[in-house]
Every structure is written in C-alpha cells, then in structure tokens.
Amino acid sequence: MSKDKVLGSKQYKLSELDLKDLSSDPFTQFDRWFSEVLKSDEKFPNAMVLSTADSDGIPSSRIVLLKGYDESGYSFYTNCNSKKGREIASNPHVSLCFWWSLLEMQVRIDGKVELLSEKITDEYFKTRPRESQIGAWISDQSEVLDNRESLEKKFNDFEKKKKGEEISRPSFWNGYKVAPTLFEFWQGRDNRLHDRFRYLLIDSKKWKIDRLYP
Ligand SMILES: Cc1cc2nc3c(=O)[nH]c(=O)nc-3n(C[C@H](O)[C@H](O)[C@H](O)COP(=O)(O)O)c2cc1C
C-alpha cells in the first residue's frame, strides 16, 4: 500500500456529539461510551495510552489495560519498578487516552494516581492466568535484557520451582487508580470540525462542561 494512501485525508462521518446528549457526570458519560465500544468489534476496547512524566517534566507514553473503573477512578496494574512506576512515584500526575477507531471516538482523562489497596490487587492477581503470574515475578520490567533465552530460562526455572504451589503477588507488582480532574470526549466529524467536550473538576464534586474548538 502506498504511503499516500495510509496518510491521506479521511473523513469522520459516524456520529456526532451535542451538549444536550451529554450526561452532566463524566463518569456516566464514559460508561455510556464504553458500553457502546464493548458492543463494537474494537479488538482492545480497554487499551489506553498512559502518559507519565519524570520529576523534570520529561514525558513518556505506553499502552496499559484498563482493568476497572468507578466514580473513584480508572485502574490498571503494573510493575512499580518499571519506568512508568518510577515516574509515578516521583510525579503522580498522569494522563490517559483511549482511541476507539471503529467508532471514531477519543477520550482523554487527566488526574492523579493512587495505589490500589493490597486487598484489591491481591484479589485481581489471583484471577490472572498462572503464566501471567509467573511473568510478573520474572520480568524486571523496563530493565535491559541480554537476550530472549535468559527471559525464557527465568520463566521455566520459576515454573519448575513453584510446581504445584500457589503463586502469590510480588510486592513490586501493584494496582493503580487514576482519580480524574479532567475528561475530554472527542467525536470525529466531517472536515475536521470534530465535536469536543471537556469536563473540568472545579470543586471536589462539581464538573464544568465546555465545548472546545476542534
Ligand atoms: C495492548 C497492550 C496492553 C498492555 N497492557 C499492559 C498493562 O496492563 N500493564 C503493563 O505494565 N504493561 C502493559 N503493556 C506493556 C506496556 O505498553 C509497556 O511496554 C510496559 O508496561 C513497560 O512500560 P514502561 O517501560 O514505560 O514502564 C501493554 C502493551 C500493549 C500493547
């Protein structure tokens, strides 16, 4: 396929978003959109870009999976010694971004990260496939790895050592929750005149809604 074809201009025609259709509560609005996405053929509906910044403000982004949400926040799990884990420890302000291409929708969520309780994290860890539990133990996430063979050897050795035993959660593998202070809902529209609505938390419970220029 030619590069021009891939990078060429595309129109967004699927839907539109108006103030009258929005919930006054961004959590409800997210829930409505997420329910729609779950009904679509989107392959990874819960994949979100997590952007963190180090203590000097230098940003980095990667995908993580949304594993739960409620009025208190949006949760994901990772290794707290990883690059993102270290950045969160020095700067808890993060940004999440979902792109649901089949519905031409984007949601941004900015907020502060908190650790999930050990109880919730342990419970979730128990539900993971055994291979993923082993993976959590043997991966020094974000560190330099000499070769693929060392990783597989670590995996096989750990598996042998723990044969028949329950695998508990490593203390360096944690759950995090983003408590939002800003949401933005973006619906693609024709001629790049997209619909954008931002919810800003102006006191602890009140959200101010504004339409933004695309
Ligand atoms: C679809 C997808 C889902 C992912 N889910 C997670 C996840 O839930 N947790 C995680 O730690 N890494 C996940 N990753 C891997 C991260 O993108 C990243 O490579 C890893 O966490 C290391 O990031 P860091 O070095 O910036 O800390 C996922 C990657 C993809 C592509």
Asked if 211 and 197 count as a contact pair (C-beta separation under 8 A), the reply is yes
* Domain contains 145: no
Residue pair 78/176 in contact (Cβ under 8 Å)? The answer is: yes
pLDDT per residue as tens digits for the range 4-28: 666 767 888 889 999 999 999 999 9
Query: What's the Cα-to-Cα distance from 160 to each of 63, 82, 154, rounded to whole Å?
Result: 31, 26, 10
Ligand 1 pocket mutation, candidates 46, 65, 80, 94, criterion most atoms within 8 A of CB: 65
Q: What is the DSSP string of 5-18?
A: HHHS-----S----
Atom of ligand 1 nearest to the CA of 142: 25
118 occurs within a structural domain = yes
Q: Is 84 in the pocket of ligand 1 (CB under 6 A)?
A: yes
**Ligand 1 centroid to residue 20 C-alpha, Å:** 37
The reply to whether 144 falls in a domain is no
Residue with the bigger pLDDT between 203 and 169: it is 169
Compute, in angstroms, the gap from residue 11 CA to the centroid of ligand 1: 31
DSSP string, 62-118: EEEE--EEETTEEEEEEETTSHHHHHHHH--EEEEEEEEGGGTEEEEEEEEEEEPPH
Residues whose CB is less than 8 angstroms from the CB of residue 158 and which lie 6 or more positions away in sequence, other chains included: 134, 137, 138
**Domain annotation covers residue 184:** yes
* Cα–Cα distance, 59 to 174 (Å, whole number): 21
**Which residue in this structure is represented by tokens 């619906």?**
187
Q: Is residue 36 part of a domain?
A: yes
- Boundaries of domain holding 115: 13-128+167-211
Ligand 1 lined by 141 (C-beta under 6 Å) = yes
Q: With beta carbons less than 8 A apart as the criterion, state whether 77 and 124 touch.
A: yes
Reported as a single tens digit per residue, the pLDDT across 131-181 is 999 999 999 999 999 999 999 999 999 999 999 999 999 999 999 999 999
- Compute φ and ψ for 4, nearest 5 degrees: -60, -40
Neighbours of 72 (CB within 10 A): 12
What CATH number does residue 101 fall under?
2.30.110.10
Neighbouring-strand partners of residue 186: 106, 196
Contact partners, residue 153, CB within 8 Å, separation at least 6: none
Q: Per-residue pLDDT tens for 79-134?
A: 999 999 999 999 999 999 999 999 999 999 999 999 999 999 999 999 999 999 99
Total domains present in the chain = 1
pLDDT band at 2 (very low <50, low <70, confident <90, very high): low
Task: Identify whether 155 is part of a domain.
Answer: no
With H, G, I as helix, E, B as strand and everything else as coil, classify residue 205. coil
Mean pLDDT of 62-75: 97
pLDDT at 11: 86
Q: Alpha-carbon distance 66 to 50, whole Å?
A: 10
Residue 175 lies in a domain: yes
CA trace torsion 128, 133, 135, 137 (10° rounding)? 150
